[in-house]
Amino acid sequence: MELKFSKVERKGPITIVTLSRPEVYNALHTDAHFELQKVFDDFAADPEQWVAIVTGAGDKAFCAGNDLKWQAAGGKRGWDKGGFAGLTARFDCDKPIIAAVNGVAMGGGFEIALACDLIIASENATFALPEPRVGLAALAGGLHRLPRQIGLKRAMGMILTARHVSAKEGHELGFVNEVVPQGEALAGALRWAEMITKNSPMSIRASKQTIQKGLAVSLEQAIDEQRDYPAVKAMAASQDYVEGPKAFSEKRPPKWVGK
């Protein structure tokens, strides 16, 4: 597929997806959403790719959210089953996805980042759900993810005021994992991705799926049902499940195969 609104690069088992509409601060429209749906479908289905990073083109913006000028001009709206950027409604991907936020992350852009498993932000990054200022609401997951990730009162403080939050405050609030110098968001995200790839991808997928499914039920139910989760069963039946303890006993680095 020819990519018009994004770029994809692979570094070993790491897929880097760059939102590429810098002329509009990487704001997204319908065609971009459908393109990114396919990009992340391909990542999820590729057994050789273990971790994804999503970032924005240029040095000013990660993603400014919904392309309001496109919408105001009568451009069609909508996205595929994966949601905004093919990510915000993607609940079946057990592989880690990291947001490398290199600038403005507004509205849908912030919702993309919140849908990722980790957020690495440059010190010039800015986050907000400003939809109420233009008569809209953050319905691509922001109104649900932010309270779950930082607590109700803190989230209400951001959502009801539509205020902008710096990377430093985002770290203090708890939705940013690390703040790095300007221009180093992608490098920071790659460092985290490389740390992840030192672990068994089967274990990582089992861990992510267990967390996601477990948060939707009671603690008792989660512990009782976790061994029946598909990714946990796949881990227990994998070559990596044998290789890990064997490598430990032989005092050598494990050779993960991801199956």
Q: Which residues are catalytic?
A: 111, 131
| Residue 114 contacts residue 68 (beta carbons within 8 Å) | no
Q: Tell me how many helices (H) and strands (E) the chain has.
A: 11, 10
Contacts of 194 (CB under 8 A, 6+ apart): 14
- CA max distance for the chain: 65
Burial class (CB in 10 A: 0-12, 13-18, 19+), 159: buried
Burial class (CB in 10 A: 0-12, 13-18, 19+), 155: buried
3-state secondary structure of 229: coil
| Residue 26 contacts residue 70 (beta carbons within 8 Å) | no
Identify the residue whose tokens are 């050779």.
255
**Tokens at 40, concatenated:** 């992340």
Residue at 124: amino acid letter: N
* Phi, psi torsion values for 100, nearest 5 degrees: -100, 95
**Helix or strand holding residue 9 (H, E):** strand 6-11
Identify the residue whose tokens are 């029946």.
228
